[in-house]
Amino acid sequence: MSSVEFQGVSKKFGGTVAVEKTDIAIEQGEFFSMLGPSGCGKSTTLRMLAGFIAPTTGRILVNGRDITDLPPEARGIGIVFQNYAIFPHMNVFDNIAFGLVERKQDKATIKRKVEATLAQVGLTGYEGRFERELSGGQKQRVALARVLVIEPEILLLDEPLSALDKQMREEMKFWIKDIQKSIGITTVYVTHDQSEALTMSDRIAVMNEGRMLQIGSPVDIYEKPSSRFIAEFIGDSNLLRASVTELTDTGCVVDLGEGVAVPARVSDAVSVAPGEPVGLLLRPEMVRLMPAHDGEKPRLSGKIVDEVYQGALRRYRVAAGTHELVVEVPNRPELVRMAAGTPVDLFWSAESGVAVP
Amino acid sequence: MGRTIPLPMLILAVLGFCYMLLPILVVVLAGLTAGEFLTFPPEGLSLRWVVAFLQSEKYLSAFFFSFRLALLTMIVATILGTAAALFLSRTRFIGRGAMRAFFLSPVVLPGVVIGFSLFAFYISTGIGLTRTIWGLWIGHILYSTPYVIGTVGAALASYDVSLDEAARSLGASPMRTFRKITLPNISQGIQAGSIFAFIVSFGQFEVSLFLSAPNAEPLPIAMYNSLRYKFDPSAAAAGIFAIILVTASVLLTNRLVNIGRLLEKK
C-alpha cells in the first residue's frame, strides 16, 4: 500500500487547467520532490494534498484512506510553508504546542513533547522567543518542529529553503534530509531548485504546465531525461541537433551530421524511431577536452571560442562544425589552459550521451 | 534622526497644523469666556459656562445620549464591518470590487444625502423608524461601518493567509482558527476601526439632523438647536467636553494600538 496515492487527480481554475490528470504513488518513508518552474502546478498539487484546494477530479489516498473530502484539520498532514507562517502573536513554545493543544492533550504531555521536539531541532532554550526574534534558519526549525510534534502521517514542504541565504540553504538541505531519514516520514517536497531536488530526493517528479513529465530517481532524471525541457531545466546541458539512425540494446545511434555517428542512451519513459530528429544531451562535465593531436579518434573536433574562469571550473565554449557546446574542465594546474582559437578534440564515453525527443 | 525638513515644507506643515488646530482653540477659548455671549477673543476667562454646561439638563443628557449612541453604534459597526472586510478579502467573485465600493460609499456620499435618503425611506415605507432612536441608530451604523471595513480591510490586506492554513493543517477548525490566529493578528485594525466608528458617530451631524427623535437629541444637534436661538457660550463649553472625549479616546487607543504601524503595513 502506498503512503500517498493520487488517482486521476486534476485541478481546473475556471477555464484554465492548473494540474492535468495525475496518478502518483508515493511509498512509505519516501522523499518525493515535485520540481518545476513557477506556475507548473506543483504547489497546486501540494495544496490539494494538504486539503486547501479541492481537486476537480480524482481521489487522494493516504495510507489507503480516501482523504479527498476531508478538511485540512482532519488529514493528519503536516506542512511547512515557504515563509514558515510562524504565528507572530505566540512564542516558540506556544507555536509548537498549537497542534497538541488542538488535540486536547494535557499540559504535562504537551510540555514534554514540545521540549523533546525542540531538542530534536536544536532549539532548546528558545521557548520564550517570538517570530521577530528568530533568524531565518531558526524560523525554519520552529516551523518544522511545530509540524513534527503532532507526528503527522505525511510531511509537506513547500519551497522551505527559498527564503534563506545560500550558505544556510546548503546547511538546511542536509539537516532536513537527516531529520526526514531518522523519522522515516513520507515527505513531499516542492521546489523550483533542481539542486535541492537532486540532493535530497529519493524520487523527483518534474512538472511543467500542469503535467508530470517524468518521475524517477535523481540519477534517472539527471542522466536520462525524457525530454528537452527536463534536460534543460535540470543542470547545464548541451543539446546537439541529431537524428536517430538505428536502435540498439542500450539505446540508439544518432547522426550529428557530416557523417559523425555516436551512441546515445534513451530514457525508459520514451521511445525513438530511426530517422527521428532528436537532441543529443551532453552534460558539460561529461565531455573531455584536449588540444587536437594525432592518435585516439575524437567524437568531434572543433575550436575554442572562449573561456570563462569559475574558480573550481573553467568553462569553455567550443565550436564544432555546426554545433556549439559548453565544456567544463576542472581547474587543475596540470590541465593546460586553452586560448580562443585553439583546435581541440572532444571525447565522451558511450554512456554520456542521451537522445531526447 | 539628523534628517532636516526643507523650510518651505516646514512652513506648509505649520500652516496646516494651524488650519486644523485654530478652530479647536477658538472653541476652547470661547467656552472659557467670562462674557455673556459667544465671542472671540473671549472677554476674560472663567469657568462659568463650563459650570453652566455641567448644570444644564439639556446638554448633559445630549452628551450622554451621544456617548451611548456612539458606543452602541461602535459595537454593531465593528461586528458588521469586520465581517464585511473578511468577506471582501477572503472571497473571489465577479463584482467584488463593485461590492467593496458600495460598502464604502457612505464615506464619500455627503451625510446630508444619507440622512435624507434614510428619512425618506422611513417615511415612505412607514416601518415606524421615522425620528426614533432605532432609526437614528441604524443611520449611524450605516455611516460608521465603512470606517471599520477600511481599517480591518487594511489589516487583512497585509495578513498572511498561510497562518490560517498552518493552523488548519495543525488541527484547528475554521472557527478555532479565526479565534486563535486570525483575530489576534488583525485586532489592531479592528480596534482602530472601532474607535473611528465611535468618533464618527459621536460627531455625526447631517444624518442625525434628519433622523434624531425630538426627545433624544445627540450633542451636535443639541448644540445646533441652542445656537440657532441664542448665541450661548455653553455650546462652546459642550464643544470642549466633546473634544476632550474624542481626544481621550484617541489617546487611549493609541496606547492600545499603534495606528501608525497599521497604516504603514498597508
Whether a cis peptide bond, with omega within 30° of 0, leads into B8 is no
Q: What is the pLDDT of residue B1?
A: 46
* Residue listed under C-alpha cell 465600493: B101
Chain B stretch 136-195, residues whose beta carbon is closer than 8 A to a beta carbon of chain A:
160, 162-163, 165-174, 176, 181, 184-185
Q: Distance, in angstroms, between A180 CA and closest chain B CA?
A: 19
Question: B162: nearest CA in chain A?
Answer: A85
Mutating which of A46, A47, A48, A52 best tests the B interface, going by the most B Cβ atoms within 10 A? A52
Mutating which of B93, B160, B169 best tests the A interface, going by the most A Cβ atoms within 10 A? B169
Rg of chain B over all Cα atoms, to the nearest angstrom: 22
Find the angle CA(A166)-CA(A46)-CA(A37) to the nearest 5 degrees: 50
Q: What is the pLDDT of residue B266?
A: 37
Residue B208 lies in a domain: yes
pTM for this one?
A: 0.81
Q: What is the pLDDT of residue B257?
A: 63
- Which of chain B's residues have a Cβ under 8 Å away from the Cβ of A89? 184-185
Over residues B93-101, the mean pLDDT reads: 90
Contact of A325 with A287, CB cutoff 8 Å = yes
Give residue B250's domain range: 56-265
Residue B202 lies in a domain: yes
Contact of B140 with B111, CB cutoff 8 Å = no
Residue B149 lies in a domain: yes
Find the angle CA(A169)-CA(A175)-CA(A179) to the nearest 5 degrees: 145
Other C-beta atoms within 10 Å of B125: how many?
10
CATH classification of the domain holding B195? 1.10.3720.10
Ramachandran region, residue A8 (left: φ > 0; alpha: ψ -120 to 50; beta: rest)? left
User: For residues A236 and A239, what is the distance between their CA atoms, to the nearest angstrom?
Assistant: 10
pLDDT tens per residue across span B192-219: 899 989 999 999 999 999 998 888 899 9
- Across the A:B interface, residue pairs with CB atoms under 8 Å apart total 61
The closest alpha carbon to B256, from B156, B188, B158, belongs to: B188
The closest alpha carbon to A154, from A125, A188, A121, belongs to: A188
Give the strand order in the sheet containing A57-62: A16-26, A4-13, A57-62, A65-66
| Mean pLDDT of each 10-residue bin along chain A, 357 residues long | 92 91 94 93 94 95 94 94 94 96 94 94 93 92 95 94 88 91 94 92 94 92 90 88 87 84 85 86 90 82 89 90 90 84 88 88
User: For residues A185 and A202, what is the distance between their CA atoms, to the nearest angstrom?
Assistant: 13
Quick check: A51 contacting B, CB < 8 Å? yes
Measured over the CA atoms of residue A42, residue A45, residue A51 and residue A53, the dihedral's sign is positive
Q: Distance, in angstroms, between B68 CA and closest chain A CA?
A: 33
Q: Where are the alpha helices (DSSP H) in chain B?
A: 7-31, 48-55, 57-90, 96-108, 111-125, 133-157, 161-169, 174-177, 183-203, 206-211, 219-229, 233-256, 259-265
Determine phi and psi for B218, rounding to 5 degrees.
-70, 160
- Which of chain B's residues have a Cβ under 8 Å away from the Cβ of A99? 170-171
Quick check: A88 contacting B, CB < 8 Å? yes
- Which of chain A's residues have a Cβ under 8 Å away from the Cβ of B261? none
Residue B23 lies in a domain: no
- Which of chain B's residues have a Cβ under 8 Å away from the Cβ of A88? 163, 185
Residue B162 lies in a domain: yes
Q: What percent of chain B has pLDDT over 70?
A: 95
- Among the partner-chain residues A78, A83, A89, the one whose CB lies closest to the CB of B185 is A89
Q: What is the pLDDT of residue B256?
A: 67
Find the angle CA(A7)-CA(A9)-CA(A15) to the nearest 5 degrees: 160
Model confidence at B259, in pLDDT bands (50, 70, 90)?
Answer: low
Amino acid identity of A117?
T
Q: What is the pLDDT of residue A32?
A: 96
Q: When comparing pLDDT for B4 and A253, which is higher?
A: A253
E-state strands within A178-250: 186-191, 203-208, 211-216, 238-248
Model confidence at B231, in pLDDT bands (50, 70, 90)?
Answer: confident
Amino acid identity of B211?
L
Q: Which long-range contacts (CB under 8 A, 24 or more apart) does A322-330 make?
A: A322/A241, A322/A257, A323/A238, A323/A240, A323/A241, A323/A256, A325/A238, A325/A240, A325/A282, A325/A284, A325/A287, A326/A236, A326/A238, A326/A284, A327/A284, A327/A287, A327/A289, A328/A236, A328/A284, A328/A285, A328/A287, A329/A289
Other C-beta atoms within 10 Å of A16: how many?
8
Overall domain count for chain B = 1
Question: A72: nearest CA in chain B?
Answer: B169
The pLDDT mean for chain B works out to: 88
Measured over the CA atoms of residue A97, residue A103, residue A104 and residue A105, the dihedral's sign is negative
Mutating which of A62, A79, A130 best tests the B interface, going by the most B Cβ atoms within 10 A? A79
- Among the partner-chain residues B163, B173, B176, the one whose CB lies closest to the CB of A85 is B163
Question: Is A85 in Cβ contact with B166 (below 8 Å)?
Answer: yes
| Cβ partners under 8 Å of residue A60, min gap 6 | A4, A5, A6, A7, A9, A48, A49, A66, A67, A68
* Residue listed under C-alpha cell 544531451: A281
- Which of chain B's residues have a Cβ under 8 Å away from the Cβ of A150? 170-171
Model confidence at B64, in pLDDT bands (50, 70, 90)?
Answer: very high
Give the strand order in the sheet containing A31-35: A77-80, A154-158, A186-191, A31-35, A203-208, A211-216
Amino acid identity of A339?
A
| Total residue count of chain B as it appears in this document | 266
* H/E segment holding residue A138: helix A136-148
Question: A86: nearest CA in chain B?
Answer: B163
- Among the partner-chain residues A71, A83, A87, the one whose CB lies closest to the CB of B181 is A87
Q: What is the pLDDT of residue B250?
A: 82
Q: What is the pLDDT of residue B261?
A: 56
Q: Which long-range contacts (CB under 8 A, 24 or more apart) does B38-47 make?
A: B38/B227, B38/B231, B38/B232, B38/B233, B38/B235, B38/B236
Residue B48 lies in a domain: no
Name residue A216's beta-bridge partners. A204
User: For residues A122 and A145, what is the distance between their CA atoms, to the nearest angstrom?
Assistant: 10
How large is the ipTM?
Answer: 0.84
DSSP A296: S
- Among the partner-chain residues A79, A83, A103, the one whose CB lies closest to the CB of B169 is A79
User: For residues A130 and A8, what is the distance between their CA atoms, to the nearest angstrom?
Assistant: 43
Q: Distance, in angstroms, between B181 CA and closest chain A CA?
A: 7
Q: What is the pLDDT of residue B81?
A: 96
Question: Is B184 in Cβ contact with A99 (below 8 Å)?
Answer: no
Q: Distance, in angstroms, between B80 CA and closest chain A CA?
A: 25
- Which of chain A's residues have a Cβ under 8 Å away from the Cβ of B172? 73, 98, 102
Domains and CATH numbers, chain A: 4-223 (3.40.50.300), 228-356 (2.40.50.100)
- Among the partner-chain residues A81, A87, A103, the one whose CB lies closest to the CB of B171 is A103
Find the distance separating the first CA and the last CA of chain B, reported in whole Å: 24
- Which of chain A's residues have a Cβ under 8 Å away from the Cβ of B93? none
Determine phi and psi for B216, rounding to 5 degrees.
-140, 85
Residue B98 lies in a domain: yes
Residue B172 lies in a domain: yes
DSSP letter string over B26-78? HHHHHHTB-SSS--SS-SSB-SHHHHHHHH-HHHHHHHHHHHHHHHHHHHHHH
